[in-house]
Chains A and B, each alone.
Chain A
Amino acid sequence: MAESILEVTGLVKHYPLTQGILFKKQVGAVKAVDGVDFTLNKGETLGIVGESGCGKSTVAKMLVNLERPTEGSIKFKGEDISRMSGRALKAARRNIQMVFQDPYTSLNPRMTVGDIIGEPYEIHPEVAPKGDRRKRVQDLLDVVGLNPEYINRYPHQFSGGQRQRIGIARGLALRPEVIVADEPVSALDVSVQAQVINLLDRLQDEFDLSYIFIAHDLSIVRHISDRVGVMYLGRIVEIGKDEEIYDHPTHPYTQALLSAVPVPDPDARDHRERIILAGDVPSPTNIPSGCRFRTRCWKAQERCSLEVPLLAVPAEFRLASGPAAHDSACHFAEEKQVVPQEETPEATPDDLDQGAE
């Protein structure tokens, strides 16, 4: 039904750890991304959430070819862009662009805003003839909500939220079909985050964009995403539509993550079940055998250390086609409603804790 525009299969990125001064010997690897699969459909927003060290930023970098995968493929409309080089790669870059996290380092402080947004046209002259460029840059400024007269200003003359808009305008210059947004609002003030999120929403409709939205803030991801994938230590542990993930999570990590997010409602304080995870995230150089989450999971059993769980619809839910029937990498997947529902003044703790079907 929905046309798939990006297909990621078996994506792996290992950074070798070496020893030695001139002749380096590999002694291990940081397994930043350790087997990631997902698809992005045209016009949709796929949110990828996870905590620091889960590999989501590395996935983002590989999608825009800032890093080469160690294994795996990234197919844009059927063509594998992860192995391209030279002219083919340069042309392919026009299709997927990135919006960066830090508005203070993502713009060259010595270039004017017009130069920054116009640089894509200098690198890809076939996209816009020289005479057209200034007008296009001004149009882009307008589209992101900035006064086109500011074309000759420098980044330090703008606020964080405005700089982020400039970064978005730059990302749009080549009219890509996919935009990878790596934590685009994390560095902004709360009152400005909403402005930028609204902008991204609007641009998606106007320019027919598909987004990969990477963040650690689960509330923001829910707001903007159609589907959401949860990453832990280099792999996706659960992926599905946003209601499926947020209201019917089946993987224990997702459940713990959701229960930890503070909700701006003091009454929910007493009604929420809090799952506090034990211990720390293992090092990506020393990934636990079997299920990598087992060292912090309250359900872990022997099977979990022996068998790696597949990211697939768990056996329990395969027959019933309810919202719990989405991909989840757990041997003992169990649905658990962790997020307090809207407007439940009479809710008691029992209502919110549902067992497996």
Chain B
Amino acid sequence: MLLEVRDLHVEFRTRDGVAKAVNGVNYSVDEGETLAVLGESGSGKSVTAQAVMGILDTPPGKITGGEILFRGKDLLKFKEDERRKVRGAEMAMIFQDALSSLNPVLSVGDQLGEMFIVHRGMSRKDARTKAVELMDRVRIPGAAQRVRDYPHQFSGGMRQRIMIAMALALEPALIIADEPTTALDVTVQAQVMDLLAELQRELHMGLILITHDLGVVADVADKIAVMYAGRIVESAPVHDIYKAPAHPYTRGLLDSIPRLDQKGQELYAIKGLPPNLMHIPPGCAFNPRCPMAQDVCRTDEPELYEVDQHRGSACHFWRECLNG
């Protein structure tokens, strides 16, 4: 197994209290596989990814438990310089906003080349050649001329591709994409996701796609983990989850999104608001908003029940949910 996250816990200590951002998350990704981590703001999906990459802001954030096994070795036990070697060379991350993730005062060629200079010890000239190669690979037209340009001279979609190029430079085994297309127009989004899928196939990489967009997930994912209030509430292969969700939150999300192929009546709306991470409701975190909530939901936190060999649901009443 390429990456396995086990029982991860992350907290944020702020002036006003402790926010429990991640509360016992387990997921795994294999080579060539795409895992989509689905959740809204406050679900903990980005924080988990940052913890895996090792780029969490450590005050105020703090990893308070769990293991992150990369090729069987626990990254949390690595020293910082070992971790840095893994980061970039074996594991890379793509962010939502390319404009703020790219250094505005360095040319694109310099930033791409830096990866090779630092990790592979290449000369500047060789690194520059490699940079042009990379830009070609992510289909930036006129790469040889544009390699000296600065990030702001590219459009949003192209910047995202440059970020993908940077992530892929050293041919990592795992890519984590945190909302890579949320800020992009839909036609550009399609281009970028296509590119990502193609490169993943070519390099046989594992891909963790973090998003809130159920449409994008349906297009590219093999399996899905749905997060809510820092916990995984459902995990399943992609086809199963859309046909028959086993958790009321997943069901609620699927029912509430307007669909291009359906002109509907009133949309189903999940009542209430996402929880305050400093005061997560006891028992099942979703219980204040759940149409199926019973007394046991308010007192006992559900574990991830086994729905079948590949599916899990953290709902006491997953059977009833599954059957509709």
Contacts and interface: CB of A to CB of B under 8 A. Distances in A.
Interface of A: 51-52, 159, 161-162, 189-195, 197-198, 201, 216, 218-220, 222-224, 242-243, 246, 256-269, 274, 276-277, 279-281, 339-342
A263 B256 contact: no
Q: Which of B238, B239, B260, B266 has the most CB of A within 10 A?
A: B260
A292 B253 CA distance: 39
Interface residues of B, number: 47
B244 interface: no
B116 to A, nearest CB: 28
A219 B186 contact: no
B253 A190 contact: yes
B24 interface: no
Interface of B: 40-41, 141, 155-158, 185-191, 194, 212-219, 221, 238-239, 242, 252-254, 256-264, 266-271, 273-274
Given A191-B269, A257-B187, A268-B261, 12 more contacts: A51-B185, A190-B214, A191-B270, A193-B256, A194-B269, A198-B269, A222-B258, A223-B258, A262-B190, A264-B254, A269-B218, A274-B190
Interface of A is mostly: helix
A190 B227 CA distance: 13
Contacts of A195: 269-271
A176 B213 CA distance: 34
A232 to B, nearest CB: 11
- Those 10 A-B pairs whose CB atoms lie nearest each other, nearest first: A262-B215, A223-B258, A194-B256, A51-B185, A260-B190, A194-B269, A194-B267, A264-B214, A189-B40, A195-B269
Contacts, number: 134
Nearest to A158: B273
Contacts of A198: 266-267, 269
A219 B242 contact: no
Given A261-B186, A276-B194, A190 B218 contact: no
Contacts of A246: 260, 263
Given A189-B40, A191-B269, A218 B260 contact: yes
A341 B191 CA distance: 23
Contacts of B217: 264
Given A191-B270, A198-B267, A219 B257 contact: yes
A262 B273 contact: no
A223 B187 contact: no
B186 A266 contact: no
B242 A264 contact: yes
A165 B238 CA distance: 34
Nearest to B263: A222
B218 A340 contact: no
Nearest to A50: B185
Nearest to B41: A189
A223 B256 CA distance: 11
Contacts of B261: 263, 265, 268, 339-342
B260 A52 contact: no
Nearest to A196: B269
A246 B253 CA distance: 23
B259 A219 contact: yes
Contacts of A265: 218, 242, 261
Nearest to B224: A266
B264 to A, nearest CB: 6
B259 A264 contact: yes
Contacts of A256: 187
Contacts of B190: 259-260, 262, 274, 276
A276 B156 CA distance: 16
A280 B158 contact: yes
A340 B262 CA distance: 10
Contact of A194 (B41, B194, B270): B270
Contacts of B274: 189, 191
B40 A191 contact: yes
A220 B219 contact: no
B179 to A, nearest CB: 13
Nearest to A162: B273
Given A189-B41, A218-B186, A276-B190, A264 B269 contact: no
